[in-house]
């Protein structure tokens, strides 16, 4: 009985640990939109907890979804393949904004039909999916579309329907594309006879995308709300509070009427700025907003725009709208009533533009670059609420006006502080452009040096050591100014160790990642002159993995040969350049002292990148065993197929401890964020090798 129980337990554990994930199924259809124009519809059905990446992922991020269509004389492509809005998050691992889909994703490619006879269109989709524990290597699925001869008649009917109902949807053909991963599983059963024991730790989060999107909008609202309060404390807006409230209380017949008018005034401010946010969303559209964070020219333009705003706040010049606009609005405001109050609010927006314009512009840039079409609207709602609330409150309680601080030089100080912040933020956009182009002009050290200089200068300004054109003479430093100066000085000092390789977790979303650096090991350490390099001879095909200085191979044969030479076990690291959880393991688990010691001294690390897009050398382009009729083109495909066939697993990260004959020393593991668990796994595997 005990043997039966043990056997069942082994079977259950083996089936749980060895998995071929098949999270995405693809289907195709054709929709006629006119006599000669059709939409090729490609739908991805995504399993719970998994997410599929957008077509517009920045370079050095996850593998984007990509479509190719085999051209023939029967049709021509119109534009690029479009996609849905999806979810956009600021990924702390890749240090970039990344868009993905969960549950379902629909892509459309419009074509112009050049033939009246039936014909087929074939193509392929390359995609990558991840969940909270695993990333799968780039996969390829064939796409097939059938344009039947009768489609021309149906298209005419669709066109008539478009005229009458303005909703043309004629589904001509629908078919399910080949599920490549299911095909892989069949191929494995027929090709691989090796007994496999593998661990793939899985965690699912079906609502992650929606929650991330909600958090993103909430963050935009909160930042905009506090930016609105900052705008209140500028010389253009703050003096308007007592003047405007006094006007309403004096001109109204009673207190209730004054409060009502002030509330209407506040609501008018909200409407004006929300309309501005809506206009930005409508002009750009969802697709354009999603492209902002990765488009080089947009980022460069935003950089220049924010520098202009910053220089304006610092006192070089003022950005003002034409005086004729304010005069025309003032004449409308004199009419009184609801319309008059609305134009009074519009007059405030125009007159205060020199102070509020740069803040509003920055908020719109940030919200739009987030890729969410609702972002600019939410941002303007938060900003305008912060502006409007004080007018309503002080109208309801006019006695509070006596508690307001008097206007003075401190208002210009607020404006200058905002200028420094605008300048610092500008370099984030320039950094985005540099990362996309891989120019390496604004690497991590340069970016941090600029920020240290900006916030250091701000500290000196707050301490009164720097004077700007519109500053009042500073006879003493207030407690508030001193506190803010100490805060910025502390932040400046905090950033300095980042030049020597410190991770700077508080601002990890702003500077480039540590690997995008002149010296990944930190300023002052060069690989050629360091002590480690002087004492350690790097064997052929190996490199020292930054920033942990781990000796690693990327060639399986060279790594195995070296392991035999030094008589150490091998740790196969099935990983990917675009694998989020692989980076988490390397950044959060491998640096731990007990783990790093084993990786440096007790095993030979062979990292096999399943998304390596380097072409295979001539002569090594062999036919795929998982996709009969297709040839392996890339190095990554070779390692992905090797993992799938030998270990019956296709997720990354995936770690295997093996001897020199390729036999497992212990069951492989996947994403293992628990340091103690991962350490025990390494120790056990090394101990099993030493017993042989």
Supply the pLDDT for residue 9: 41
Supply the pLDDT for residue 8: 42
Instruction: Render the burial of 224-251: b for 16+ CB within 10 Å, e for the rest.
Output: bbebbebbbbbbbbbebbeebbebbbee
Segment among 2-11, 147-156, 644-653 with least mean pLDDT: 2-11
Rounded distance, CA 49 to CA 361, Å? 37
Residues with Cβ within 8 Å of 448's Cβ and at least 6 positions away in sequence, in order, are 495, 498, 499, 504, 511
Does the structure show a pLDDT above 50 at 189?
no
Rounded distance, CA 16 to CA 195, Å? 14
Q: Which residue has the higher pLDDT, 556 or 352?
A: 556
Q: Which residue has the higher pLDDT, 290 or 32?
A: 32
Write down the mean pLDDT value for the chain: 76
Supply the pLDDT for residue 251: 65
Supply the pLDDT for residue 184: 41
Q: Which runs of consecutive H residues, i.e. helices, occur in 317-439?
A: 323-333, 337-351, 353-369, 375-396, 409-437
Q: Which residue has the higher pLDDT, 511 or 204?
A: 511
Supply the pLDDT for residue 295: 64
What are the residues facing 91 on neighbouring strands? 96
Q: What are phi and psi of 571, to 5 degrees?
A: -110, 110
For 23-178, which CATH superfamily applies? Answer: Thiol:disulfide interchange protein DsbD, N-terminal domain (2.60.40.1250)
Contact 38, 69 (CB under 8 A): no
Rounded distance, CA 426 to CA 418, Å? 12
Does the structure show a pLDDT above 70 at 181?
no
Rounded distance, CA 671 to CA 584, Å? 9
531-691 under CATH 3.30.1370.60, yes or no: no
Does the structure show a pLDDT above 70 at 203?
no
The pLDDT-based confidence of 67 (bands split at 50, 70, 90) is very high
* pLDDT tens, position by position, 312-369: 888 887 766 666 665 666 665 555 567 777 777 777 777 677 677 777 777 776 665 5
Rounded distance, CA 227 to CA 276, Å? 16
Does the structure show a pLDDT above 50 at 155?
no
Segment among 73-77, 490-494, 631-635 with least mean pLDDT: 631-635
Rounded distance, CA 366 to CA 362, Å? 6
Q: How many CA atoms lie within 13 A of 242 on its CB side?
A: 11
Can you give the residue ranges of every domain in the chain? 23-178, 215-404, 407-513, 531-691
Section 294-300 average pLDDT: 72
Supply the pLDDT for residue 477: 87
Section 197-225 average pLDDT: 53
What are the structure tokens assigned to 557, written together? 């044969």
644: part of which helix (H) or strand (E)? helix 635-647
Closest by alpha carbon to 590, among 562, 549, 556? 549
Section 159-172 average pLDDT: 41
The pLDDT-based confidence of 667 (bands split at 50, 70, 90) is very high
Supply the pLDDT for residue 206: 33
Q: Do domains 23-178 and 531-691 have the same CATH topology?
A: no
Closest by alpha carbon to 384, among 227, 175, 155? 227
Supply the pLDDT for residue 172: 37
The pLDDT-based confidence of 391 (bands split at 50, 70, 90) is confident
Cβ burial, residue 674 (10 Å; 0-12/13-18/19+): exposed
Does the structure show a pLDDT above 70 at 40?
yes
Cβ burial, residue 23 (10 Å; 0-12/13-18/19+): buried
Does the structure show a pLDDT above 70 at 275?
yes
Supply the pLDDT for residue 515: 65
Most confident range, picked from 66-80, 163-177, 322-336: 66-80
**What's CA 467's distance to the chain center, in Å?**
39
Does the structure show a pLDDT above 50 at 460?
yes
Strands 604-609 and 570-575: parallel
Contact 656, 606 (CB under 8 A): no
Q: Which residue has the higher pLDDT, 214 or 274?
A: 274
Rounded distance, CA 350 to CA 355, Å? 10
Percentage of the chain beyond pLDDT 90 is: 19
Closest by alpha carbon to 120, among 75, 64, 177, 58? 75
Three-state DSSP class for 119? strand
Does the structure show a pLDDT above 50 at 670?
yes
Cβ burial, residue 534 (10 Å; 0-12/13-18/19+): exposed
Does the structure show a pLDDT above 70 at 59?
no
Does the structure show a pLDDT above 60 at 185?
no
Segment among 73-87, 352-366, 550-564, 602-616 with least mean pLDDT: 352-366
Contact 377, 277 (CB under 8 A): yes
* pLDDT tens, position by position, 227-249: 887 777 777 777 777 777 666 66
The pLDDT-based confidence of 476 (bands split at 50, 70, 90) is confident
Supply the pLDDT for residue 502: 81
The pLDDT-based confidence of 94 (bands split at 50, 70, 90) is low
Rounded distance, CA 473 to CA 409, Å? 8
Sign of the four-CA dihedral 208, 214, 217, 218: negative
The pLDDT-based confidence of 669 (bands split at 50, 70, 90) is very high
């Amino acid at each position: 009985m005990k043997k039966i129980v043990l056997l069942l337990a082994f079977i259950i554990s083996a089936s749980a640990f060895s998995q071929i994930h098949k999270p995405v199924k693809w289907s195709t259809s054709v929709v006629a939109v006119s006599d000669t124009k059709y939409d090729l519809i490609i739908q991805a059905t995504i399993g719970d907890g998994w997410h599929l990446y957008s077509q517009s992922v920045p370079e050095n991020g996850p593998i984007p979804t990509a479509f190719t269509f085999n051209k023939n004389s029967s049709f021509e492509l119109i534009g690029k393949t479009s996609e849905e809005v999806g979810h956009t998050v600021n990924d702390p691992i890749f240090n970039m904004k990344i868009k993905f889909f969960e549950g379902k994703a629909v892509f459309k490619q419009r074509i112009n039909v050049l033939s009246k006879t039936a014909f087929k269109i074939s193509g392929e989709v390359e995609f990558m999916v991840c969940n909270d524990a695993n990333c799968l290597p780039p996969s390829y699925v064939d796409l097939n579309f059938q344009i039947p001869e009768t489609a021309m008649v149906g298209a005419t009917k669709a066109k008539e329907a478009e005229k009458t109902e303005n909703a043309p949807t004629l589904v001509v053909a629908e078919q399910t594309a080949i599920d490549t991963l299911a095909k892989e599983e069949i191929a494995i059963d027929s090709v691989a006879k090796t007994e496999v024991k593998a661990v793939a730790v899985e965690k699912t989060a079906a609502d992650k995308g929606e929650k991330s999107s909600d958090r993103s909008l909430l963050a935009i609202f909160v930042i905009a709300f506090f930016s609105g309060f900052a705008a209140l404390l500028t010389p253009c807006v703050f003096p308007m509070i007592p003047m405007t409230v006094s006007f309403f209380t004096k001109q109204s017949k009673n207190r209730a009427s004054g409060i009502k008018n002030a509330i209407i005034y506040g609501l008018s401010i909200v409407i004006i700025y929300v309309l501005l946010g809506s206009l930005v969303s409508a002009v750009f559209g969802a697709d354009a907003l999603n492209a902002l964070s990765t488009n080089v020219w947009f980022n460069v333009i935003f950089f220049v725009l924010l520098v202009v705003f910053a220089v304006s706040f610092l006192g070089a010049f003022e950005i003002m709208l034409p005086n004729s606009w304010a005069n025309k609005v003032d004449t409308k405001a004199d009419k009184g009533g609801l319309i008059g109050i609305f134009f009074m609010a519009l007059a405030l927006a125009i007159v205060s533009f020199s102070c509020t314009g740069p803040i509003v512009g920055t908020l719109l840039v940030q919200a739009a670059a987030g890729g969410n079409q609702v972002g600019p609207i939410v941002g303007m709602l938060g900003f305008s609420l912060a502006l409007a609330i004080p007018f309503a409150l002080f109208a309801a309680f006019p006695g509070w006006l006596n508690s307001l601080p008097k206007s003075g030089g401190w208002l210009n100080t607020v404006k200058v502080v905002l200028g420094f912040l605008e300048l610092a933020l500008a370099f984030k956009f320039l950094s985005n452009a540099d990362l996309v182009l891989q120019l390496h002009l604004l690497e991590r050290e340069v970016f941090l040096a600029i920020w240290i200089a900006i916030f250091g200068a701000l500290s000196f300004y707050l301490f009164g050591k720097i004077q700007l054109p519109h500053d009042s003479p500073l006879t003493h430093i207030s407690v508030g100014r001193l506190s803010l100066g100490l805060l910025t000085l502390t932040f400046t000092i905090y950033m300095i160790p980042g030049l020597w390789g410190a991770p700077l977790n508080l601002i990890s979303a702003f500077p480039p990642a540590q690997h995008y650096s002149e010296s990944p090991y930190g300023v002052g350490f060069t690989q050629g002159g360091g002590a480690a390099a002087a004492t350690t001879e790097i064997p052929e095909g190996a490199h020292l993995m930054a920033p942990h200085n781990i000796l690693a191979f990327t060639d399986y044969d060279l790594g195995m040969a070296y392991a035999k030479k030094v008589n150490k076990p091998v740790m196969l690291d099935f990983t990917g350049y675009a694998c989020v959880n692989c980076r988490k393991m390397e950044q959060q688990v491998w640096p731990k002292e007990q783990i790093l010691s084993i990786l440096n001294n007790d095993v030979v690390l062979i990292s096999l990148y399943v998304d390596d897009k380097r072409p295979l050398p001539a002569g090594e382009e062999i036919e795929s065993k998982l996709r009969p009729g297709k040839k392996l083109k890339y190095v990554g495909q070779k390692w992905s197929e090797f993992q799938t066939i030998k270990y019956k697993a296709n997720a990354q990260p995936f770690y295997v401890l093996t001897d020199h004959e390729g036999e497992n020393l212990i069951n492989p593991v996947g994403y293992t964020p628990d340091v103690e668990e991962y350490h025990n796994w390494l120790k056990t595997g090394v101990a099993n090798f030493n017993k042989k």
